[in-house]
Amino acid sequence: MRLKLPEGSFGAYLFDCDGTIADSMPLHYLAWRKALAEWNCEFDEKRFYAWGGMPVAEIISTLNKKHGLSMPVETVSLRKERLYFDLLPQLKPVPEVLEHIEAEHGRTPFAVVSGSTRESVIASLVSLNLLDRFDTLVCAGDYKRGKPDPEAFLLASERLGVAPENCLVFEDTEMGIQAAQAAGMASVKIPPPWERL
């Protein structure tokens, strides 16, 4: 399957990480299930994909409210990250996105814009041997409002010195696409794993 990019030429490419560069969503889901099972907390796969792009701390807080639980956000966050890091040897890139990274690297500035922690993003990119391709990383903690708010994408375009309207966003979630639109950026949606087969 090939990705169809919007018409025109772009001054920068902004990539989400999980589910976009890294085919990591199935691994993240395994880590979530394991971490949450320790607190008897359900997290079905459909909801997991629907919440794609939501910061880890926000997911835990929302699940606490939804299930009337009081899981310690920091503890569960760290546990989930550790479990994900254990699965990293299984991580593969999304081939349709990798193709564009390889073709444009060195010609177009790249940024990663993610709701994941910097540690998690770096671990994924190092595992895929792609960390050196990116000029800047915008991760959870670098901005106040997560996707669908445009703040993270606007910060990336500012760091790269490229106007928002000249940026192309690669995203796998609805929240991410909404954030790109709110930032005035063109976008391309990466289909979920089961549609890419």
In the chain, domain spans: 12-24+93-196, 25-89
Same fold, 12-24+93-196 and 25-89: no
The mean of the pLDDT values for the chain is 95
Classified by CATH at the fold level, domain 25-89 comes out as: DNA polymerase; domain 1 (1.10.150)
Beta bridge partners of 93: 22
Other beta carbons within 10 Å of 174: 15
pTM of the model: 0.90
Average pLDDT of span 80-104: 96
Is the CATH number of domain 12-24+93-196 3.40.50.1000?
yes
Catalytic residues: 16
What single-letter amino acid sits at 96?
E
Greatest Cα pair distance in the chain: 50
Average pLDDT of span 18-36: 95
**How many CA atoms lie within 13 Å of 86's alpha carbon, on the beta-carbon side?**
11
pLDDT(98) > 70: yes
Q: Are 147 and 182 in contact (CB under 8 A)?
A: no
pLDDT(197) > 70: no
Token pair for 155: 């910060």
Q: Are 130 and 93 in contact (CB under 8 A)?
A: yes
Average pLDDT of span 97-126: 95
The CA distance from 36 to 25, in Å, is 16
pLDDT(43) > 90: yes
